[in-house]
Amino acid sequence: MWVINILAFLLAAVWIAGKAKKTLSETLPVVAMGLVMVLYLLAYFRRLSWIDGISAGICLVVAVACLCSRSIRSFFGRTILRTAADPVTWMVLGSIAVVSLLTADRLALWWDDINFWATDVKSIFYFDGFAAKYGNTAPEFGDYPPGVQLFKWWFLHMHPGEFREGLMFSGYYSLNMLLLAPLFSPLQRVWRQKKYWWWLFPAGALCLFLLPGVAETFYLEGTCSDLPMGLAYGLFLWNVLDRRSCGCHRFWMVRACLSLSFVLLCKNTGILWAALGFLFLILHHLWIHRLGDASDNETRESILTLWTVAATAALTEGSWLASCLLKRRVAKLTGAGLRMAVSGDIPETSYGRELLSAFVEGFTTVPIHRMETVAIDLSMLGFLLLLVLLFLLLWKQRRMDKKETVLTGLFLIFTGMLCFGWTLLAHFTIFAGEMQYLDAGAMAASIERYGSPFTLGAVYVFWCLQVYRESPGKGDAMTAKTREPFRTAMGYIAGMTVVFLCTQYPGAYEAVWGYRESRKEDLAGREAMWKEAEHFLTATEGLWKEKGTRILYLRDANVNHRVKDTYINYEASPLGVVYGSYQTEGMTEEDMERLIRESHAFYLYADPVKGAPDPLFGGMTEAFRYQSVYQITEKAGKLFLSEVDP
């Protein structure tokens, strides 16, 4: 069915391109984000696989319509021929295909992937949707939104009989490149008039993958959502500025709603970036329409847009928060942040001066790239100065009128200060106990990661202004429709030069090819982390198919097993595992009963510890046995354990 799914995806993009008079590279991210929204709805009913039927239906409807209607057949024929004649189409689709194949054998090794991103998507894959109440596989990150996870699932579904984690990486990189595709749409005008610029297309294909590495390098190690969130945020900002030159208001409206909703479904912090994006939309409305630059019809359309985008975003965020509340999915950091906000009790740190010093050093002098690249290793301060230089060049070339220049400049200054300000605040509050951030290198990595929506959003907007906009000449020539091929090519050469000078080459090589050199050793190392729990994994295999999907895994309190627990979680997924530390000395049956209740688990499994278990479990079962699975039930306020047949 994967062929049908991809065909339906492309047909939807072609249809939108024909209706909106856009190129395929401009409609691909809209279809990708629309697909995520459809999967988001299906996941609530554990019917993600129904996307096969929906895709088959789309293909069937298009085929029947083309057979029965000459006008529809002509419409699709013209649009497909126009799309096929656009070399950017082949550049984007070819890049996605090559990167997907090269990354299809990768392993989940990055800590955050094991901790959540890979573990969660594995659960979604097996459940064909979201887990039941208390059933999520990574309880400490329960309310992390599933947007990027669902697109990764779509690629995993290409091999439905087995969880092939490499396809997760293929889906992740494909999503990023789809979101970047609109940056290269105007490049087709160069090919159409001057064929000797052909070499810009292979360079553009490389740039499509390497561009995020200018300001964000975690995407080369794992599949976290910061990068796609930043790209969708940048797409939304550009969409706001592109309103008058878009040419199709319906397409503009759909792109605005989907991009802001997708930002919300990427990560918890998406609500902050979505709020800033919506603020930019409001300011643009007030600045442009309230100051006499718009007709009454444009003003009415703008007000309708504000309400539509706000309603779509509110519905998206509200539905996810309501789901988390009903299924008791609350992340550890979310809970800590809410407690601090309500109580005002901010933890005091004895190393505040050292933390501030690490932040200043990491911001000003430590390179963004954790691995040295062959080109320029910019610090975050250096990168921000580069953004200032690019903005001044755009202002000098008059890519924006005065109102847009002032609005965009002030907005970026405000959001930049806010972004790095709340990053610093987070390290003094919710990250206060994480001592690794006293190192300037670790702090620089944190600044880079959590600042990527701002940095990549700015890059996205600047790039689009450079290649889509024309310096005002005669009349109102603010688009690139009549732009000279030479100047278009020069704009792309300038942008690609910055990318090729400042991106992360070692990480990119490792992501698509170098991982093969150590794959066996990496797999063996990962297995060594959960090997001691092999009996647990064997005993609980298939338990996730039961109604209750959370198990309390009791481990020796005298051994620090937190890191290994994370790897066990990944192997046990989709079974939700929570951990408890226990010992026979110093604990009572009441303590054990309280521990079980607080876990909200349906099953229990205990590793052997020193001493007899009867004092802890004697009142809940007749003869408790270590390394056995027990079902937890409650009768008349009393807990009981009944052994599950192996």
Tokens describing residue 390? 């690019």
CB < 8 Å & 24+ apart, contacts of 40-44? 40/146, 40/147, 40/150, 40/265, 42/129, 43/124, 43/129, 43/130, 43/146, 43/150, 44/129, 44/130, 44/323
**CA-CA distance, 359 to 579, in Å (whole number)?**
34
- Specify the residue for token string 């939807």: 12
Report helix, strand or coil for 533: helix
Tokens describing residue 206? 């490389």
Gap between the terminal Cα atoms of the chain? 36
- Does the pTM exceed 0.75? yes
Tokens describing residue 11? 């047909």
**CA-CA distance, 386 to 379, in Å (whole number)?**
10
Query: What are the residues whose beta carbons fall under 8 Å from the beta carbon of 618, sequence distance 6 or more?
Result: 589, 624
Q: What is the DSSP letter of 460?
A: H
Report helix, strand or coil for 527: helix
**CA-CA distance, 23 to 51, in Å (whole number)?**
25
DSSP string, 594-607: HHHHHHT-SEEEE-
User: Residues in the chain with pLDDT < 50?
Assistant: 473-482
Tokens describing residue 46? 């554990």
DSSP string, 339-364: HHHHH--PPP-TTHHHHHHHHHHHHH
**CA-CA distance, 517 to 511, in Å (whole number)?**
11
**CA-CA distance, 3 to 126, in Å (whole number)?**
21
Helix (H) or strand (E) holding 287: helix 270-289
DSSP string, 381-450: HHHHHHHHHHHHHHHHTTSS-HHHHHHHHHHHHHHHHHHHHHHHHHHHTTTTT-GGGGSHHHHHHHHHHH
Strand order of the β-sheet with 630-635 is 576-582, 550-556, 603-606, 630-635, 638-643
- At residue 477, the pLDDT reads 42
Sign of CA dihedral 578, 583, 586, 591: positive
Instruction: Find, among 245, 243, 228, the residue nearest to 186 by Cα.
Output: 245
pLDDT tens figures, 33-47 = 999 999 999 999 999
SS3 content of the chain, % helix, strand, coil (to 5): 65, 5, 25
Angle at 482 between CA 480 and CA 484, to 5 degrees: 90
Residue type, 597: R
Query: What are the residues whose beta carbons fall under 8 Å from the beta carbon of 430, sequence distance 6 or more?
Result: 333, 336, 337, 340
Residue type, 330: V
- At residue 461, the pLDDT reads 95
Burial 118-149 (b: 16+ CB within 10 A, else e): bbbbbbbbebbbbbbebbbbbbbbbbbbbbbb
- At residue 350, the pLDDT reads 67
Q: What is the DSSP letter of 329?
A: -
